Structure 1
């Protein structure tokens, strides 16, 4: 067998192995998707620790005794951009009443997140989930997805869509301690 034929055979074998690995991973991810992050209303919200943009750590269980509006978002997400001004306005009112907003960015650079925070003048903690561990634990797909968690840590409502200001206000009312 000539040297060129050996090289072609090697390249084709490598390509075939990469394709087989990709198909195997896709099948595995789809078959195990249902077992990952299947959170329902009434479940205890899974605890996590994430850092905000200044490096401070936020642990969900540290917010027990308060209502928590947990919002998963991205800088590229148009519906997220629509909701953020409502969240900023309502946070001013509800933070005094024992309701916190935790906005979890999923896997983006600090530069993009900081630019977004400044553009929208976000006044609540913005947490970074670079590894997407929390996103996977909560089964987030698509974004925006929001969890409304009561003061005992139970999920009261899950919203997988863009919300109006009135909807956000009503849901924040429902989780006040």
Structure 2
């Protein structure tokens, strides 16, 4: 009987593995990454209007995925605000949040005193297209609409500036 139980458990494990891999292959969507044309999106922003990536056609755009509960995101926020203050008129910097409300972000940012451009990816459709696996994650899109950088983890004001300047030609 003990041998029979082991065989049954092994069979269940094998069937489960095939099921998992099969499901993974079927549900694997197309997504973009470095070297690909950036996925065009349209998302609500903090002031209630809608922002599209095409609004910035021909310009360098930086996307930063964040969450208010994310400790590394909180640590990098002063750097992002410094970049926005110093270079926001030169380069478009978009902060994208997944799953939190506008009210929550307004509270966390003290009503957005830094003037950041917050967008809301409520259903995570855009983050799936960009293959976002966590936060913070940053993307740099060049003037031709090609993703040139994809960085996982916190960034600094100077990193953002150096990337933006690199692709501003």
Query: Shorter-chain TM-score: what band?
Result: 0.7 to 0.9
Matched, 1:163 2:155: yes
For 1:69 and 1:145, how far apart are their aligned partners in 2? 11
> After alignment, is 34-43 or 100-109 more displaced?
34-43
Partner of 1:50: 43
Unaligned runs of 5+ in 2: 1-15
Partner of 1:152: 144
Report the alpha carbon displacement of residue 36 of structure 1 after superposing the two structures with TM: 2.7
Partner of 2:71: 78
Matched, 1:40 2:33: yes
Cα pair 1:53 1:126 within 8 Å, conserved: yes
Partner of 1:60: 53
Change (3 A) 1:33 1:146: farther
> After alignment, is 85-94 or 29-38 more displaced?
29-38
Give deviations 1:14-63, integer Å, cap 9, x for gaps. xxxxxxxxx8xx93796149833532211111000001122111000111
Unaligned runs of 5+ in 1: 1-22
After superposition, residues 106-145 of structure 1 pair within 5 angstroms as 106-118=98-110, 121-145=113-137
Change (3 A) 1:30 1:157: farther
TM-score with structure 2 setting the length: 0.79
Q: CA RMSD in A?
A: 2.6
For 1:111 and 1:172, how far apart are their aligned partners in 2? 30
For 2:126 and 2:38, how far apart are their aligned partners in 1? 11
Determine helix, strand or coil for the equivalent of 1:93.
Answer: helix
Report the alpha carbon displacement of residue 109 of structure 1 after superposing the two structures with TM: 2.2
Cα pair 2:72 2:154 within 8 Å, conserved: yes
